[in-house]
Structure 1
Amino acid sequence: MSNQKRPQGGGPMGHGPGGGNMMMMGQKAKDFKGTLRRLLAYLQPRRNQLIAVFFAAILSTVFMIVGPKIMGTAITELFEGAYGKFQGIPGAAINFDKISQILLMLAGLYVFSSLFNYIQQYIMSSVAQKTVYDLREDVNKKLEKLPLKYFDGRSNGETLSRVTNDIDTIGSTLQQSLTQFITSIVTIFGIIIMMLSISPILTLISIVSLPISIFVIRPILKRSQKHFADQQRTLGQLNGHIEEMYTGHQVVKAFGHEKKAGDQFDMVNEELYEAGRKAQFISGIIMPMMFFIGNLSYVLISVVGGVLVTQRAISIGDIQAFITYSKQFTQPVTQTANIANIIQSTVAAAERVFELLDEEEETKEITTASLTRAQGAVTFEHVDFGYGEDLLIKDMNIEVSPGQTVAIVGPTGAGKTTMINLLMRFYELNGGKIKIDGLDVRNMSRSDLRKNFGMVLQDTWLFNGTIKDNLAYGKSGATDEEIFAAARTAHADHFIRTLPDGYETVLNEEASNISQGQKQLLTIARAVLADPPIMILDEATSSVDTRTEVFIQQAMNRLMEGRTSFVIAHRLSTIKDADLILVMDQGKVIEQGTHSELLKENGFYADLYNSQFSEKAAG
């Protein structure tokens, strides 16, 4: 996900010489007008600043456009004085005072033009950043309200792309392209007016060259678009291949696939080279052709202008000014076409952001009950739940007393983790009730509910920061002694102190500078520090060795004293001491009881336990 700024005035897909992407179309929005209206609504609070930007852009451009005309007056004055002296006309001389005044006026115009350009850029930067700030705030608030099913149904990369890349695209367009668009439009009309004031005939010659240029380069652009699309496609394939090979380099080496991976890289790299070569070559033809047509126009303007000068129809300074205008004319036309394309891509990016803002939120909270610190009684009453139309859990009834340890076992897809998600109210029930201490969880705030739970998951999550900061995440305002005590309880204190910087060791973004087992110990220590009345352990010991597992089990036993605990485990040896074991299959609790009771029943649990025992013996 690149955050690089898009090139301004570049060739197709941002490559090649200037003006090449006059006809290139960006990603299109499905509802261009509707999305544009919503985006403009974010600019509405800053309309006064935008009006100031508009007038500053007009003044800056007008002062710049008038410059060549005044310069032409100075050249005419210089030429007529020099020509008179050369012809020996009495009293003829170069009027340096008048020329100096003209040049001072010209310098003043350019200073004012630069000043108003600075003003418009300064104001627009504030408008763009405040607008993007508001968008980010709205998106961040929205993300806090989205249900877990939204994140389960989409990749993290897609959500991140909307939050970062798409909003950055909007900010970049507001900052750069909007003022450029205003300036380009004013420049086009201003130059046409100035050229018409000099000579309508020369203006016609200059304007006719533009459609001729478009007619000539259109077929070239169509061919280059195909190759640029191939270039982007193969570039994506190459990036994906490189990422796969480097992130999984150990597996590649272990299975001896280095040559195969290298051959695949060479093949995709060759495709990228061919597509890039053709795209750059074809787009590279565009500017020489435009220059050729432009130069023919200059020659024609010079010839016709020379004839008009000999007929005293226009002055020589006007010819010079007109040629300057004709050279300036193509640039804003190209920029306008390019910016129109960028605006299309920007509106498409805004549409993706608004799609996120329009996502269905979590069910609105109706807070009629308050829960500060739960005793730990948990009840499932006739609970029904399904991710779609088909129910995964049907008529589930469970009664858990305060302080009990409840183990949940069953095959993959039985509904174990779903049950925990319902308990935490990550998903809403289709029917029935879940109660904590006799209070329906739907009648309390999600914040109050979740403060009573501590979670240790199979997938560890640690952020970029020190080990101490990661542990302190479990409790706001935790003291160092509390952090150290939690680490000792989780058997993490020893390994932390053996690290070069101890508790001040900085974990990188993926926490890859410590082992997977050590990560798990830290997450357990974090849960210990939080000191919640109800604990959820989802395969908490799956990533540690047998010896560490024993330590963790001992720590967990101490942690679970006086707390209600829900333990999801595949290794049944770890939950033999649980007060209640729930055996789930296809969303139903098919057996429940203690370890010894379930073994005596000689049912599903007994089969699971004996199969693991026999596998262990065979191993």
Structure 2
Amino acid sequence: MILKYKLPPKTEALVETTGDERIYYSVPVDIDTAGNLTEDSYLVVTTRNVYVIRGEKKEQYKIKDLKEVHAELGIGGGLLTARYKDMDMVLVHYSSKHMSRYAYVARGINILISGRYEEVISNEYEKICPKCGRVIPGTKQCPKCSKEGRFLSVFVRMAKPYKKEFFGVFFLMILAAVTTLLNPEVQKHLINDVLKEGGRMRDALIYLAMMFSLSVGIVIVNILKSNSSARLGARIAEDLRIQLFKKYQQLPLEFINDRRPGELLNRIINDTVFIRQFMEDVFCNLFAVFFIFIWDIIFMMILNLKLALLTFICVPIVSVIMLSLRKTIHRIFHLQFKKNDDVSSDLQDVISGMRVVKTYGKEKEESDRFKVLSTAFANIQKRNERFWAMFDLVLSFFMGMGVVIVVYFGGTDVFAGKMSAGELYQFISYTMLLFQYISWLGRLPQELSRLTSSLERVYDVLAQSIEEESADVHDIDIKGEVVFDHATFGYKSYSPVLEDINAVIKPGEMIGIVGASGTGKSTLINLLMGLYKIDDGRL
């Protein structure tokens, strides 16, 4: 998490440092004293002073005059309060997106007040992207702004170990596209050369044999393509599950505790299953559809430019509808995934804690709570399916109008002698293919949005950095002395469980840790065992 923002030149000029004084922390102040959002204010902390800079105005407080700085929680934000010259005062207001940041800054100021000069460093990831303002899904970098997090980059990273398999599927896609496009051409010659007065049986048999061969070829190629895609999808899903499970075991407990069990379980099971299904059902046809789509348009324009342009009248309407609703489709299906996580997490908690539920007679309460979550999930699913049914109906209507236009104006050209019957049949076949694949492409945003959500959730885990063990590892002589030196730790940075703990436990000394429930006894032992790392101080 950024605790030292780059200051604008005008703001930096207002910070006066002398001698060995230097800036430790500089963070934005996004709410002014009247409660309005602002963008030109900063809190700057040096080794000797605290500055609150609003535009060209500044307030300066000497560290030696400050006592007990706190980052206090509020509704939708917080306050940085301090005791200054025996007076309680509010230094700055800030929104909820800076809540963790100011908790670290408050801790850093208190260290300076105590006479120490350790600089607080935050290992937390940013919650909001500083560039685009989007919520970052738990990864180190924003998926939208960083090249590593973009959908195409993530997909390429996933596909990189399977280059040969992807090339094989791609080759089969092109082969399927070519055989599909050749069939209408053969049918045109059958109608023009045979199904007319004077047509020969020999020619008919030749064309029928060609059509039969192409049809059998399409079936064989599609079977091979589907099998290859299924094997590829199964391998990718298997490898991702293994990588996720291995990563879960390597990640610190802070990461695991911040996420619900059902959410972590869904990433291994549901998200990898959908990636496999996408490879089997969507990816196996993706490039074939684009190849056919492009050449279909070219052949239609070669056959009859006027009729092709009339057909394309409906295409921009369909495209605008699809593009305008792309973000909506992604949002509603991402919400459906979240509700699924809620149901899975609650079910996981209840089943694992069934003994406790039965002991305290909470079956009815747990059933009612699960019913609420399940109903919410079902309502989201029904709403999404209704939306998709209406979306598909509108697309089908406009595509059907395109076929009607072809039949009417094409039939007129045939009667006028401007077009042969075979060419009209070929044009209608290409039109049917065009709108068939537009309909398929219309469903593609839904599939891609689900794939994007799944990949983000999977790589949210896989992209987590793990501290590598030092190469300079050696045995040490453990004497048994334990020292807590100004140790501070909290499961949430803005709410420390243990703060400024100082203790020295001599070898062989036995002590008792006494306190009420929730005061940090178990946390202290967990820190001692190395299950968590302290936020500040030394152990």
TM-score with structure 1 setting the length: 0.51
Q: 1:99 to 1:141 in 2, by over 3 A?
A: same
Give, as a single letter, the amino acid of the residue that structure 1 aligns with 2:447: I
Cα deviation, residue 351, structure 1: 2.7
Aligned positions of 1:12-411 closer than 5 A:
30-31=144-145, 33-35=147-149, 36-80=152-196, 84=197, 92=198, 94-213=199-318, 284-285=389-390, 289-362=394-467, 364=469, 366-369=472-475, 378-382=480-484, 385-388=487-490, 391-392=498-499, 394-399=501-506, 401=508, 408-411=513-516
SS in structure 2 of the partner of residue 396 of structure 1: strand
Residues 30-59 of structure 1: CA deviation (Å, up to 9, x unaligned):
348532324313322332332232222011
Judge which range, 53-62 or 356-365, deviates more: 356-365
Distance between the aligned counterparts of 1:325 and 1:131, measured in 2? 35
Contact map agreement 2:488 2:537 (CA 8 A) in 1: no
Contact map agreement 1:379 1:397 (CA 8 A) in 2: yes
Distance between the aligned counterparts of 1:175 and 1:226, measured in 2? 21
Q: 1:77 to 1:252 in 2, by over 3 A?
A: farther
Q: 1:356 to 1:225 in 2, by over 3 A?
A: closer
SS in structure 2 of the partner of residue 397 of structure 1: strand
Count residues with an aligned counterpart.
386
Distance between the aligned counterparts of 1:69 and 1:359, measured in 2? 54
The alignment's C-alpha RMSD in Å is: 4.7
Cα deviation, residue 278, structure 1: 7.4
Contact map agreement 1:56 1:120 (CA 8 A) in 2: yes
Contact map agreement 2:194 2:203 (CA 8 A) in 1: no
Give, as a single letter, the amino acid of the residue that structure 1 aligns with 2:144: K
Residues 528-560 of structure 1: CA deviation (Å, up to 9, x unaligned):
xxxxxxxxxxxxxxxxxxxxxxxxxxxxxxxxx
Contact map agreement 1:231 1:276 (CA 8 A) in 2: no
Residues 473-501 of structure 1: CA deviation (Å, up to 9, x unaligned):
xxxxxxxxxxxxxxxxxxxxxxxxxxxxx
Distance between the aligned counterparts of 2:241 and 2:337, measured in 1? 30
Cα deviation, residue 71, structure 1: 1.8
Cα deviation, residue 326, structure 1: 1.2
Distance between the aligned counterparts of 2:455 and 2:144, measured in 1? 11
Give, as a single letter, the amino acid of the residue that structure 2 aligns with 1:69: E
Contact map agreement 1:145 1:362 (CA 8 A) in 2: no
Give, as a single letter, the amino acid of the residue that structure 2 aligns with 1:331: Q
Q: 1:385 to 1:157 in 2, by over 3 A?
A: farther
Q: 1:309 to 1:33 in 2, by over 3 A?
A: farther
Q: 1:363 to 1:428 in 2, by over 3 A?
A: farther
Distance between the aligned counterparts of 1:29 and 1:62, measured in 2? 37
Residues 271-328 of structure 1: CA deviation (Å, up to 9, x unaligned):
977x888776665455555555444433332232223223433221222222222122
SS in structure 2 of the partner of residue 157 of structure 1: helix
| Stretches of structure 1 lacking an aligned partner (at least 5 in a row) | 1-26, 85-91, 434-619
Contact map agreement 1:29 1:344 (CA 8 A) in 2: no
Give, as a single letter, the amino acid of the residue that structure 1 aligns with 2:261: N
Distance between the aligned counterparts of 2:390 and 2:158, measured in 1? 41
Q: 1:55 to 1:345 in 2, by over 3 A?
A: same
Q: 1:146 to 1:237 in 2, by over 3 A?
A: closer
Distance between the aligned counterparts of 1:427 and 1:141, measured in 2? 19
Identity %: 20
Contact map agreement 1:67 1:106 (CA 8 A) in 2: yes
Contact map agreement 2:514 2:521 (CA 8 A) in 1: yes
Contact map agreement 1:384 1:394 (CA 8 A) in 2: yes
Give, as a single letter, the amino acid of the residue that structure 1 aligns with 2:502: D
Residues 58-110 of structure 1: CA deviation (Å, up to 9, x unaligned):
11111012112212322333421xxx3xxxxxxx3x42221111111112122
Aligned positions of 1:425-436 closer than 5 A:
425-428=530-533
Contact map agreement 2:263 2:345 (CA 8 A) in 1: no
Distance between the aligned counterparts of 1:255 and 1:408, measured in 2? 36
Contact map agreement 1:61 1:186 (CA 8 A) in 2: yes
Cα deviation, residue 142, structure 1: 2.5
Aligned positions of 1:594-613 closer than 5 A:
none
Counterpart in 2 of 1:508? none
Distance between the aligned counterparts of 2:442 and 2:338, measured in 1? 27
Report 1 or 2 for greater relative contact order, CA contacts < 8 Å, sequence distance ≥ 6: 1
Residues 114-157 of structure 1: CA deviation (Å, up to 9, x unaligned):
33333333333343333334433433332232222222333222
Distance between the aligned counterparts of 1:230 and 1:185, measured in 2? 26
Q: 1:282 to 1:227 in 2, by over 3 A?
A: farther
1:415 is aligned, of 520, 528, 539, to 520
Give, as a single letter, the amino acid of the residue that structure 2 aligns with 1:135: L
Instruction: Please identify which structure carries the higher strand content.
Output: 2
Residues 342-384 of structure 1: CA deviation (Å, up to 9, x unaligned):
334423432333332333435625531289xx9xx84323555
Aligned positions of 1:505-516 closer than 5 A:
none
Aligned positions of 1:435-514 closer than 5 A:
none
Q: 1:382 to 1:294 in 2, by over 3 A?
A: closer
Residues 192-216 of structure 1: CA deviation (Å, up to 9, x unaligned):
1332333222222222122345568
Q: 1:179 to 1:137 in 2, by over 3 A?
A: same
Q: Is the radius of gyration larger for structure 1 or structure 2?
A: 1
Give, as a single letter, the amino acid of the residue that structure 2 aligns with 1:381: V
Counterpart in 1 of 2:103? none
Counterpart in 1 of 2:29? none
Cα deviation, residue 182, structure 1: 0.7
